[in-house]
Amino acid sequence: MASIDVTVIWACMIGFAVFAYVVMDGFDLGIGILFPGLKAGEERDQAMNSIAPVWDGNETWLVFGGGGLMAVFPLAYAIILPATYPLIIAMLLGLVFRGVAFEFRWRDPGHRKFWDIAFTLGSVIAALSQGITLGALLQGIRVEDDAYAGGWLDWLSPFSLLTGVSVLLGYGLLGATWLIWKTEGTAQAHARRMAFRLGIATFAALAAVSLATPFLHIDYWRRWFELPQVLLTAQVPVLTVICAGIFFQSLAKGHERMPFLMALILFLLGFVGLGISMFPYAVPQAVTIWDAAAPRASQIFLLAGAVVIVPMILAYTGWAYRVFRGKAGIEGYH
């Protein structure tokens, strides 16, 4: 056991939870972002039907990421959250609004317009705050004596706004490609057009973030541009370009699942890129995962359960998705 570094395993686990959250809640937040572009009535009902049974499980990964961070990297949790305080609060309030909109919009047709707006606004705010939080993390957080030492608007910068918009576009892309898969008729045609535009915008945003990141810190620069590691890291942008090619081709050919799959792979590549930039820091340039780690006993205690339970969660989550496989339709599930 001693030769295995539990902390690294946990860093991967938290990374996995965050990734699972980003792509799963990403596509249902994306639906919210795209909602104003869909026609009221049939198109919106289809879109809502396609995520109603699963959004709740998707969002649970956010709780797992937060809870896991507190359990195994309490120092990182205690630094990052106060540093991005207004963002986190905005995200939570956004999630409150959009979460209740799922229930309320069906129950109150008189105010459906209002709850549709709440659904969109909540989703946009949540996506933006998550993106800006990512930017704030990458650009670094001021830490003194193991505690956050900055003001309450330190997170605001051109770079963090750029990452905010990028995540917003990316979630929109996930949402649009999900709709291509799960809807039919005009909603699907509509989603195709949106996916095309969002695809271009997302790749542009990804390029911009990738180019800006190495200028934030010399350490990022070294990782991405110095030999020999550039031979490894360069694979990420190369694969991204290939992914983009397949994405647009499948969209043009009218494939239904491939665009969503490519959007997922795009997120995965972006995620690997972030991992390359950040590892082994939990708070970039300030706190490594080993500094932030909880005592070994805490990490092992939770890991023992996670090894057994997480595969079970994935299994029944997969089953739930299977139950609702196929087109969402306007008439609900039969």
Partner 1 sequence: MLARIQFAFTVSFHFIFPAISIGLASFLAVLEGLWLKTGKGVYANLFRYWLKIFAVVFGMGVVSGVVLSYQFGTNWSEFSYRAGPIIGPLMGYEVMTAFFLEAGFLGVMLFGINKVGRRLHFFATCMVALGTLISATWILSVNSWMQTPAGYAINDAGQFVPAGSWWPIVFNPSFPYRLVHTVLAAFLTTAFIVGAVGAWHLLKDRTNPGARKMFSMAMWMAALVTPLQIVAGDQHGLNTLEHQPVKVLAMEGDYQPSPEGAPLILFGFPDSEEARVRYEVAIPKLGSLILKHDFDAPLPGLIDFPRDQWPPVPIVFWSFRIMVGLGFAMLAIGLWSLVTRWRGTLYDSRWMHRAAVVMGPSGLVAVIAGWVTTEVGRQPFTVYGLMRTAESHSPLAAPAVAASLIAFVVVYFFVFGAGIYYLLRLMSKPPQRGEALLANQPHRAAGITPASGVDAASSKGG
Site for partner 1 in 81-120 (CB under 8 A): 81-82, 85-86, 88-89, 92-93, 95-97, 99-100, 102-104, 106-109
Measured from the CB atom, the residue of 61 and 220 that comes closer to partner 1 is 61
Evaluate the CA torsion angle 314, 320, 322, 326 in order and state its sign.
negative
Element (H, E) at 147: strand 147-148
Asked if 259 and 195 touch (Cβ cutoff 8 Å), the reply is yes
Measured from the CB atom, the residue of 78 and 200 that comes closer to partner 1 is 78
d(CA 208, CA 212): 6
Nearest distance in Å: CB 24, partner 1: 11
Measured from the CB atom, the residue of 117 and 272 that comes closer to partner 1 is 117
d(CA 209, CA 282): 20
Element (H, E) at 286: none
What does the per-residue mask of binding to partner 1 show for 263-302, with x meaning CB under 8 A? Answer: -------------------------------xx-xx--xx
Which pair of structure tokens corresponds to residue 290?
């080993």
Q: At what angle do helices 186-212 and 158-182 cross, to 10 degrees?
A: 150
d(CA 176, CA 267): 14
Of the ranges 56-64, 157-165, 223-231, 252-260, which one interacts with partner 1 (CB under 8 A)?
56-64
User: Residue 48, interface with partner 1 (CB under 8 A)?
Assistant: yes
User: Residue 177, interface with partner 1 (CB under 8 A)?
Assistant: no
Of the ranges 140-148, 167-175, 200-208, 273-281, which one interacts with partner 1 (CB under 8 A)?
140-148
Q: Cβ atoms within 10 A of the Cβ of 29, count? A: 30
Measured from the CB atom, the residue of 95 and 174 that comes closer to partner 1 is 95
Residues 63-82 that bind partner 1 (CB under 8 A): 63-64, 66-72, 74-75, 77-82
Measured from the CB atom, the residue of 147 and 234 that comes closer to partner 1 is 147
Q: Report which DSSP code applies to 157.
A: S
Q: At what angle do helices 186-212 and 42-51 cross, to 10 degrees?
A: 60
User: Residue 323, interface with partner 1 (CB under 8 A)?
Assistant: yes
Asked if 287 and 281 touch (Cβ cutoff 8 Å), the reply is yes
Nearest distance in Å: CB 67, partner 1: 5
Residues 143-172 that bind partner 1 (CB under 8 A): 146-149, 151-152
User: Residue 6, interface with partner 1 (CB under 8 A)?
Assistant: no
Nearest distance in Å: CB 264, partner 1: 20
User: Residue 32, interface with partner 1 (CB under 8 A)?
Assistant: no
Q: Compute CA 178 distance to the chain's CA centroid, rounded to the nearest angstrom.
A: 15
Nearest distance in Å: CB 136, partner 1: 14
d(CA 123, CA 109): 21
